[in-house]
Amino acid sequence: PLAGFEAETGFDEALADPGPPPDEAAAFADELRMLLESLDAQERQFVELKLEGHFQDTIAERLGCSERTVRRIQETLRERWEK
């Protein structure tokens, strides 16, 4: 039963994938840190909530703003980070 569970969930594949090399992981972490440091408090909280998997309605509630404001923040960040 356990072997079937592992095959169904992709457990074997997850163990076989070591992830990115340490230098790439460090570069990504540095870039993410710089991006987060460039944000104001509301934008940073938005990103944290989004990374935690929250939806717009929950993010709006937590930020104390409307869903329209959340969409605006998301679009502003997308435009800024695509440059």
pLDDT digits (tens, 9 = 90+) for 37-55: 999 999 999 999 999 999 9
Assess contact for 60 and 69: CB atoms under 8 A: yes
Task: Give me the chain's average pLDDT, please.
Answer: 84
Instruction: Give the global pTM.
Output: 0.65
Give 24-35 pLDDT, tens digit per residue.
Answer: 889 988 988 888
